[in-house]
Amino acid sequence: MDKQGFTTGIVHGDRIAGTEHGGVRQPIHTSVQYGFERVEDLIGVFQGTKKGGFNYARQGTPTTAALERKITQLEDGVGTICFGTGMAAITATFLTLLLAGDHLVSSKYVFGNTNSLFGTLKTLGVEVTTVDACDASQVKSAIRPNTRMLFVETIANPGTQIPDLQGIGEVCRERGFAYVVDNTITSPALFKPKAVGASLVINSLTKTVAGHGAALGGAVTDTGLLDWGGYPNIADDYRRSASKEQGLLQIRKKGLRDMGAALSSEQAHSIAMGAETLVLRVKQSSDNALALARFLEGHEAIGKVFYPGLKSHPQYEIAQALFKGASWLLSFELLNAERMIDVVNALKLPIKATGLADTRTLIIPVAPTIFFEAGADTRRAMGISDGLLRLSAGIEDIDDLIADFEQALKRAA
């Protein structure tokens, strides 16, 4: 079939790939074991010579495989591995592609748990340097002879910083580094990191792709751009496969199979259902976020508003050039931080909850919650003030959201 539009591909993909009884979506395969008529086929699945077979659900099921195909299609990649959570996808990627003595350079503006994971990597002998990746020259000067990988997020949470995605991609291409881009906030509906040279793309499927806040999942997608034949850390066992397959093969065996953070078929199905409306949701929630950001920027009780769709945002031009929209994520400062509790409690629609990319708007004060453990010094270094609120815009009607903020902000004085 001719190359289709993005959403057409999502909603027809299962059917075209073939399902039993003409079902239009993949059924939920609950089997852990998979049996064969001929033992040669069982052996073939173990040895990888029988493609597309299953043997044990920790390494995948027909339902998780269908989701993997869908994510590959969305990211324009060559293959995907799904995990039980986004953190599992990130952990498996780092632990299988980095060895003790290697060096990882990361943006300093990353998801809190990813930052915490860097601490674990250090205890295992992996060196980690974090830099302000909005400036590619800082990334360049952090590079050492043992650097293997660069890691960034497309839009950071909660500050909405956008790294020099293109510039870092060029550095990685020249040097043969693995360029790992966490696309969770933008999702492939707004941006495909392959366009800036990413080698591997991470999505926490829990967030934008599922969108309903009713399933956990994560994915790592190989864009096909890095020649794994030239990447040092592939084990001999996996060197026997075609060079383009070696990276994901090692992540599937050493990460998914051995570490065991598998996605269940039930959750994969739930994520695939959410993914059908990905573009519609992201459009509505991004439109809402922009309208709210403009409203808040003009409000006397509010200080800075961090949203890449505003001209005041330092990376506004990059967002315009690379993304189809500035996403559903914004944060803003209440000028009088002492009024924060009252203002947030006065909001009727936004749910006071952590989590991101739900159909419902979510709000959370940043300093006393997600950045509490980080401590005051880290918060100051990351520009997180006591009055900072993070908002994940949902798909509600915008007039209702603005009216709600209007009444709640009366308590800010």
Ligand X SMILES: *Cc1c(COP(=O)(O)O)cnc(C)c1O
For ligand X, the binding residues (CB under 6 A) are: 85-87, 111, 114, 153, 157, 182, 184-185, 204, 206-207, 216, 218, 356
Q: Smallest distance, Å, CB 202 to ligand X? A: 7
Fill in the DSSP letter of residue 229: G
Q: How far apart are CA 410 and CA 413, in angstroms?
A: 7
Q: Smallest distance, Å, CB 219 to ligand X? A: 10
Nearer to ligand X, 210 or 301 (CB): 210
Nearer to ligand X, 96 or 267 (CB): 267
Nearest alpha-carbon partner for 368 in 337, 399, 398: 337
Q: Smallest distance, Å, CB 367 to ligand X? A: 18
Nearer to ligand X, 45 or 218 (CB): 218
Q: Smallest distance, Å, CB 227 to ligand X? A: 26
Alpha carbon separation from 159 to 109, 317, 392, 403 (Å, rounded): 8, 17, 12, 25
Instruction: Tokens for 21, please give them.
Output: 């009884």
Q: Smallest distance, Å, CB 87 to ligand X? A: 4
Q: Smallest distance, Å, CB 230 to ligand X? A: 28
Nearer to ligand X, 187 or 288 (CB): 187
Do residues 206 and 218 lie in contact, with contact meaning Cβ atoms separated by under 8 Å? Answer: yes
Nearer to ligand X, 111 or 118 (CB): 111
- Residue closest to ligand X (Cβ): 86
Nearer to ligand X, 207 or 269 (CB): 207
Neighbours of 167 (CB within 10 A): 17
Phi-psi region of 73 (alpha: psi -120 to 50; beta: other; left: phi over 0): alpha
Q: Smallest distance, Å, CB 114 to ligand X? A: 6
Residues in Cβ contact with 322 at an 8 Å cutoff, skipping those fewer than 6 apart: 165, 166, 191, 195, 196
| Cis? peptide before 158, omega within 30° of 0 | yes
3-class state of residue 364 by DSSP: strand
Nearer to ligand X, 115 or 246 (CB): 115
Nearest alpha-carbon partner for 333 in 410, 391, 378, 399: 391
